[in-house]
Chain A
């Protein structure tokens, strides 16, 4: 189905290669890259202002993975309509960067494709899924939406939220500063010191905590936006 010019790359011995010469699952590798990228984005926020170029590149990588995963239909519970509206990146032709892989089946089912070692892959996938739905760290409340389904579907927004963070470090418009629903935005300290510092290392929580609604199209915070607009008006005296 997905004839992606698979080539054996020299010296490709990435992590995740199981013993006994099994080919690592492409989805597993892709997921691991996604996880790694999200961790990197979270760790950006240290005492010194994060490197914007690096953040942008990582975020673009995450977007690519997300778009591919959503095209495969493997993005957890993600409906196609939640995909970012912009012109999609062309389907990546060669997918062997992470591993030598043979995509056997079409990505029709929502669960990640399992390759040679279904049990192993699923075992590693499941904890991610369950913990994503389970844990709720209060420290990530800054971006937490009340609606878990929104969390799943608004991955694009999560990336945007990262740039919100970066942007908020130097708010050029008050709207952006106050565009988030969460009331902790009103806490200036939280805003200015970089929200990410509160989030925990768990990647899934990271995914959760990314879920916010700064972009106007989100329907869940329209009322809050109106309220915020009002507040903003007062503040800027316009």
Chain B
């Protein structure tokens, strides 16, 4: 009995799984909210799906602890330390909470071009009342959505009957006061603000400021600062568009506000540089306060050097002390106080270095992988090909490769570390570089803000992995 329930619940971990892969279902962004209670995903079809974590339940259990979801054995050091023998702590599972269409496809008649409805980024606002707020953006328009619950409705109107039809006034002989009665929980999402027409180029990042009053949106050449309350204007704070577009050689690839200092933000470029700007310095932050760039390694120079140095994601650590950047082959951690080189560099899939020409040909070299910190900034995670994703423990310097696929990980099983074989001899269980499936790429991952729960988007499937309990 218990097993059956578990199976159903565990299948929920593989939400959004379809037997066929429709393009509209390809997940394009994943984000936990600030408490980790909610997990939002955006897809290529412009939809947002929000998952909510179940309340945790304590059960009496005689059999060994039930493990929900798959398991990360490598993070043993972070396991909760003690579990009672007679009780099992059932960790909350994530279930669908709300689904709504955030963006629709548009057509720009002036340029005769389609504007994709694909959700590029979702960012949550911190919760300030009973409702949840998130920002979602496609290439051109940012929207603020309010997600609220309704679990009561008024009943006992005088002029209307229960079905809403008007009553004949002549039949009304008494007056009553409508009362709120419980109803089935309804979660509704309403667009509260639409921030449009401020970006000529494609928006790649949005970031909520720590003042919770402003946020920024960044496209290829400009960054705009918005106030949540004002939709008809925004401040341009970075503009790297050259006067002569012929001189364009560098674009903005990602941007983020400092987690604590509301005047500070960073943006990364396609040339592998990061600029930190202080908005107090000037209205237009064209001059950076700090400039992070690692000198090029001359022994690795090639025609593809610039392309693989292009930074696809930049993330502040929760502490605000470090930034992490992802380029095609590596993840780098920078100390804000040291601009001339990163303090740590992790090889994600260096075996691809010899395949760059093929990856250039099939455009994979332009894939934009994201990277995330765990809650304590001790572990970083990023995706790779073949549905592999990698984790690096900054303290122990250990790393692991895991796979997000149904075939290779049964529910409740511990995820087995994977290995890519680069040498001649391939051991059993290893996979050779040439067998990697480059169409299965993990670009988007998210880490719960305080617990060891991760969400991994593999094309159109979402995997949620939890730490092993007991």
Q: Is the beta-carbon distance between A57 and B306 smaller than 8 angstroms?
A: yes
Query: Which residues of A lie under 8 Å from residue B360 when comparing CB positions?
Result: 33, 36
Closest 5 CB pairs of A and B: A160-B246, A97-B302, A167-B245, A52-B220, A163-B245
As a 0/1 sequence over residues 244 to 270 of chain B, the CB contacts with chain A under 8 angstroms (1 = contact) are 111111110100000000000000001
Cβ of A5 < 8 Å from any Cβ of B? yes
For B243, give the chain A residue with the smallest CB separation: A173
- Looking at the complex, which one of B113, B139, B251, B422 makes contact with A169 (CB distance below 8 Å)? B113
Rounded to whole angstroms, the CA-CA distance of A93 and B110 in the bound complex is: 46
Q: A97-B304, A163-B246 are in contact. List 18 more A-B contacts (CB 8 A).
A: A9-B354, A33-B303, A47-B114, A48-B114, A49-B139, A49-B202, A53-B251, A53-B310, A65-B303, A92-B301, A94-B302, A95-B302, A160-B245, A160-B246, A161-B246, A169-B111, A170-B111, A192-B112
Cβ of A127 < 8 Å from any Cβ of B? no
- Looking at the complex, which one of B110, B202, B354, B422 makes contact with A52 (CB distance below 8 Å)? B202
Q: Which residues of A contact B (CB under 8 A)?
A: 5, 9-12, 14-15, 30, 33, 36, 40, 47-49, 51-54, 56-57, 59-61, 64-65, 92-98, 157, 159-161, 163-164, 166-167, 169-170, 172, 176, 189, 192-193, 214-215
Q: Is the beta-carbon distance between A47 and B113 smaller than 8 angstroms?
A: yes
Least CB distance, A211 to chain B, in whole angstroms: 14
Q: Is the beta-carbon distance between B358 and A14 smaller than 8 angstroms?
A: yes
- Looking at the complex, which one of B113, B204, B245, B304 makes contact with A48 (CB distance below 8 Å)? B113
Cβ of B433 < 8 Å from any Cβ of A? yes
Residue among B202, B248, B363 with most chain A CB within 10 A: B248
**Given that A47-B114, A166-B245 are contacting pairs, would A94 and B301 also be in contact in the complex, using a CB cutoff of 8 Å?**
yes
Q: Which residues of B contact A (CB under 8 A)?
A: 110-116, 139, 200-202, 204, 220-221, 241, 244-251, 253, 270, 298-304, 306-307, 310, 354-358, 360-361, 363, 366, 422, 433
Query: Which residues of A lie under 8 Å from residue B303 when comparing CB positions?
Result: 30, 33, 61, 64-65, 92, 97-98
Query: Which residues of A lie under 8 Å from residue B299 when comparing CB positions?
Result: 5, 93-94
Query: Which residues of B lie under 8 Å from residue A51 when comparing CB positions?
Result: 202, 366
**Given that A164-B246, A169-B111, A169-B113 are contacting pairs, would A56 and B302 also be in contact in the complex, using a CB cutoff of 8 Å?**
no
Query: Which residues of A lie under 8 Å from residue B250 when comparing CB positions?
Result: 56
Q: Is the beta-carbon distance between A192 and B110 smaller than 8 angstroms?
A: yes
Q: Is the beta-carbon distance between A164 and B116 smaller than 8 angstroms?
A: no
Query: Which residues of A lie under 8 Å from residue B433 when comparing CB positions?
Result: 11
- Looking at the complex, which one of B139, B200, B270 makes contact with A56 (CB distance below 8 Å)? B270
**Given that A92-B303, A167-B245, A176-B245 are contacting pairs, would A57 and B270 also be in contact in the complex, using a CB cutoff of 8 Å?**
yes
Rounded to whole angstroms, the CA-CA distance of A89 and B354 in the bound complex is: 23
Q: Is the beta-carbon distance between B354 and A12 smaller than 8 angstroms?
A: yes
26 pairs, CB–CB < 8 Å, chain A vs chain B: A5-B299, A30-B303, A48-B113, A48-B115, A49-B114, A49-B139, A52-B201, A52-B221, A52-B251, A53-B204, A53-B366, A54-B363, A56-B248, A92-B302, A94-B299, A94-B302, A97-B302, A97-B304, A97-B356, A157-B246, A159-B246, A160-B245, A161-B246, A172-B241, A192-B110, A192-B112
Rounded to whole angstroms, the CA-CA distance of A159 and B246 in the bound complex is: 7
Query: Which residues of B lie under 8 Å from residue A30 when comparing CB positions?
Result: 303
Q: Is the beta-carbon distance between A10 and B301 smaller than 8 angstroms?
A: no
Residue among A53, A64, A164, A176 with most chain B CB within 10 A: A53
Q: Is the beta-carbon distance between A61 and B245 smaller than 8 angstroms?
A: no
- Looking at the complex, which one of B245, B355, B357 makes contact with A98 (CB distance below 8 Å)? B357
Query: Which residues of B lie under 8 Å from residue A15 when comparing CB positions?
Result: 357
**Given that A97-B303, A97-B357, A176-B245 are contacting pairs, would A54 and B110 also be in contact in the complex, using a CB cutoff of 8 Å?**
no
Rounded to whole angstroms, the CA-CA distance of A56 and B246 in the bound complex is: 10
Rounded to whole angstroms, the CA-CA distance of A98 and B302 in the bound complex is: 9
- Looking at the complex, which one of B111, B221, B302, B358 makes contact with A49 (CB distance below 8 Å)? B111
Rounded to whole angstroms, the CA-CA distance of A92 and B299 in the bound complex is: 10
Q: Is the beta-carbon distance between A57 and B307 smaller than 8 angstroms?
A: yes
**Given that A47-B114, A61-B303 are contacting pairs, would A53 and B361 also be in contact in the complex, using a CB cutoff of 8 Å?**
no
Rounded to whole angstroms, the CA-CA distance of A110 and B250 in the bound complex is: 32
Q: Is the beta-carbon distance between B112 and A193 smaller than 8 angstroms?
A: yes
Rounded to whole angstroms, the CA-CA distance of A189 and B111 in the bound complex is: 9
**Given that A93-B301, A193-B112 are contacting pairs, would A60 and B253 also be in contact in the complex, using a CB cutoff of 8 Å?**
no
Rounded to whole angstroms, the CA-CA distance of A51 and B201 in the bound complex is: 9
Rounded to whole angstroms, the CA-CA distance of A65 and B306 in the bound complex is: 12
- Looking at the complex, which one of A10, A56, A95 makes contact with B354 (CB distance below 8 Å)? A10
**Given that A47-B113, A52-B201, A214-B246 are contacting pairs, would A60 and B298 also be in contact in the complex, using a CB cutoff of 8 Å?**
no
For B108, give the chain A residue with the smallest CB separation: A49
Rounded to whole angstroms, the CA-CA distance of A47 and B105 in the bound complex is: 13
- Looking at the complex, which one of A48, A157, A160, A167 makes contact with B116 (CB distance below 8 Å)? A48
Residue among B246, B247, B355, B422 with most chain A CB within 10 A: B246
Q: Is the beta-carbon distance between B251 and A56 smaller than 8 angstroms?
A: yes
Q: Is the beta-carbon distance between A11 and B310 smaller than 8 angstroms?
A: no
For A45, give the chain B residue with the smallest CB separation: B113
Rounded to whole angstroms, the CA-CA distance of A40 and B249 in the bound complex is: 17
